[in-house]
Structure 1
């Protein structure tokens, strides 16, 4: 690294909207379907892994927790390992961990509860 120039190896979700497309049930469970907070960047794969584990640990109904908690903790651990690999400037390891993380999220998706869909009543004319 230079005196003023810092080199970083990072992982980002290229298209955050793909997270909701690929894992809609997990997105609903972790974020109530809100992928971005007002004024904040959209959340991606790493945020999903971390937030899902937290929601399961703190808020989820017992049956959902039992079905997902162990694998969600594994997903959170993979996200942490990926960050450590990036900090060690090991992009090959980080890439392998990203593939394992996405495969684990694929396995978790069908186990998550479906998002409730609410249909509003048609407006009545006054």
Structure 2
């Protein structure tokens, strides 16, 4: 890094509309519980945070919370690993973690209730 310039490595969702198409049940769980529309487009990382919020603080059936909780905890842990890999400029590890995170969301989608 230079004296004035800072190098940043980040992960963003290329097309946020694809998140809703890929995981419609999960998106449906978090969307109606938002008091106001989000200020920025929803992406994969934002979905993980919203799922954590709804499972821990939302008005979901206890069985649904119990079913989704292990997936949400695992997704949040992988998201944190991804953040750390990006901060340490380990692009290869970050790439691997993005696939792992998407796989967790896909597995969670299979067990999520239809909304």
Provide TM-score, normalisation by structure 2. 0.91
Q: Which residue of 2 aligns with 1:122?
A: none
**d(CA) in 1 for partners of 2:30 and 2:16?**
15
Q: Helix, strand or coil for the counterpart of 2:4?
A: coil
Point out which structure has higher relative CO (alpha carbons under 8 A, 6+ apart): 2
1:31 deviates by 2.4
Q: Which residue of 2 aligns with 1:103?
A: 103
Q: Which residue of 2 aligns with 1:28?
A: 28
Unaligned runs of 5+ in 2: none
Q: 1:28 to 1:20 in 2, by over 3 A?
A: same
Runs of 4+ in 1 over 4 A off after TM superposition: none
Higher helix proportion: 2
Question: What does the per-residue CA deviation read over 1:23-74, in whole Å, with 9 as the maximum and x for residues that have no partner?
Answer: 011011122287x935x21010011112102211111220110111011110
Q: Helix, strand or coil for the counterpart of 2:30?
A: helix
**d(CA) in 1 for partners of 2:53 and 2:72?**
9
Is 1:44 aligned with 2:43? yes
**CA RMSD across the alignment:** 1.6
What pairs with 1:59-98 in structure 2 (closer than 5 Å)?
A: 59=58, 60-98=60-98
How many pairs are equivalent? 113
**d(CA) in 2 for partners of 1:30 and 1:91?**
30
Provide TM-score, normalisation by structure 1. 0.83
Q: Helix, strand or coil for the counterpart of 1:79?
A: helix
